A = this chain, B = another copy of it.
């Protein structure tokens, strides 16, 4: 799967830079490949929509075989539900107090929507139950930590949260993990996937020991998606696989030709020797920089260049002497390091096929971080 640098998607002409460009042909191929991989293993696919925040891309994933979508915030859930998506899992330990409780209750009242929510504490379960109201039987999944060290209880303690949730009137569907520690580097991906399987096995046993039979054991990250797709896991929640990015290629999770997105940028200055400056900076590319990548993005057409610095509206691309570099005024494609926070900077993207623009699609849930 791995090897090599990302391959550029073709940019259509007459772009107003900086802008986001997404190749729907590549997207469809990515959607089909992941769906086939999960189908072959008998695992349900519930892609994480925080990557693209687009109702239409979520619908494309459903059409390719996904059973529903995953989101990270109540705001994303509201946007997806309003867009007609009928099965949404908020894979986050939602703290449902204050105005957020009212929003959750409103969403639960939406006809035809099947909603489930993450929980990793007894207090959080109580808040969810209060917010949902006594008749709701809100579905929850207990988050367990596979070694990522972020959220989620230790797998053996899943029953504590589950019994508290059940006592509060919630419907405990099962447990979920996020193998985010895979992002530490390619050499960590296999172990992180194994950690997810092990954590969900322990959690499932813990739930059964208190009389709760888990219906869903959900794992997920794009790097671990294939390796973690094994019993007792029943569901997978990869996100970035749909669009790819420089990080996914480096982690072996996307083939070099699986990168479906680019930020188009114009060279605006060549005044300082040894570099060109593009009009995509921190507000267009973010400062996301994993330790195993060099520079704030990748220029497939000019592989000698390194985006060494970004300020708000400037990207400084350094070139060794004598290497090919773009001319002043030239529009270049930049593959971002990490798709998710980059997409959240744009209200819309240019959808393309074979290098031609076919539409402008909204990033429906842009900025819906809560």
User: Residues of A with Cβ closer than 8 Å to B?
Assistant: 14-19, 50, 72-73, 92-95, 97-100, 120-121, 123-124, 127, 143, 145, 149-153, 180, 266-272, 275, 277, 279-284, 286-289, 309, 311-314, 316, 328-329, 340-341, 344-347, 366-367, 369-370
Roughly how many angstroms separate A72 CA and B87 CA in the complex, as a whole number?
Answer: 42
Q: Which 5 A-B pairs have the closest CB atoms?
A: A151-B269, A120-B271, A72-B313, A283-B369, A153-B271
Is B329 in contact with A127, judged by CB distance below 8 angstroms? Answer: yes
Roughly how many angstroms separate A313 CA and B94 CA in the complex, as a whole number?
Answer: 11
Residues of B within 8 A of A50 (CB): 312-313
Partner of A120 from B17, B269, B275, B341 at Cβ < 8 Å: B269
Chain A interface, DSSP helix/strand/loop, else mixed: loop
Smallest Cβ-Cβ distance to A267: which chain B residue:
B95
Residues of B within 8 A of A151 (CB): 268-269, 271-272, 277, 314
- Given the known interface contacts A123-B329, A314-B151, the answer about A344 and B272 at a Cβ–Cβ threshold of 8 Å is no
Partner of A345 from B97, B313, B367 at Cβ < 8 Å: B367
Is B284 in contact with A287, judged by CB distance below 8 angstroms? Answer: no
Q: Smallest distance from the beta carbon of A184 to chain B beta carbons, Å? A: 11
Given A151-B314, A282-B341, 7 more pairs with CB closer than 8 A: A16-B99, A93-B269, A94-B268, A121-B271, A150-B269, A150-B277, A152-B271
Roughly how many angstroms separate A329 CA and B369 CA in the complex, as a whole number?
Answer: 17
Residues of B within 8 A of A92 (CB): 268, 313
- Given the known interface contacts A150-B309, A151-B271, the answer about A283 and B127 at a Cβ–Cβ threshold of 8 Å is no
Total copies of the chain = 2
Roughly how many angstroms separate A271 CA and B72 CA in the complex, as a whole number?
Answer: 18
22 inter-chain pairs at a CB distance below 8 angstroms, sorted by A residue, are A16-B99, A18-B369, A19-B370, A50-B312, A50-B313, A72-B312, A72-B313, A92-B268, A93-B269, A121-B269, A121-B271, A150-B309, A151-B269, A151-B271, A153-B271, A283-B369, A284-B369, A286-B286, A286-B287, A286-B341, A287-B289, A312-B344
Q: Smallest distance from the beta carbon of A172 to chain B beta carbons, Å? A: 16
User: Which of A50, A72, A271, A309 has most chain B Cβ within 10 Å?
Assistant: A271
- Given the known interface contacts A98-B16, A282-B341, A370-B16, the answer about A268 and B93 at a Cβ–Cβ threshold of 8 Å is yes
- Given the known interface contacts A268-B124, A272-B149, A272-B150, the answer about A367 and B341 at a Cβ–Cβ threshold of 8 Å is no
Is B150 in contact with A95, judged by CB distance below 8 angstroms? Answer: no
Residues of B within 8 A of A14 (CB): 98-99
Q: Smallest distance from the beta carbon of A99 to chain B beta carbons, Å? A: 5
Q: Smallest distance from the beta carbon of A135 to chain B beta carbons, Å? A: 24
Residues of B within 8 A of A94 (CB): 268
Residues of B within 8 A of A271 (CB): 93, 120-121, 143, 145, 151-153
Roughly how many angstroms separate A277 CA and B149 CA in the complex, as a whole number?
Answer: 10
Roughly how many angstroms separate A271 CA and B142 CA in the complex, as a whole number?
Answer: 11
Q: Smallest distance from the beta carbon of A335 to chain B beta carbons, Å? A: 18
Residues of B within 8 A of A277 (CB): 93, 150-151
Roughly how many angstroms separate A12 CA and B340 CA in the complex, as a whole number?
Answer: 31
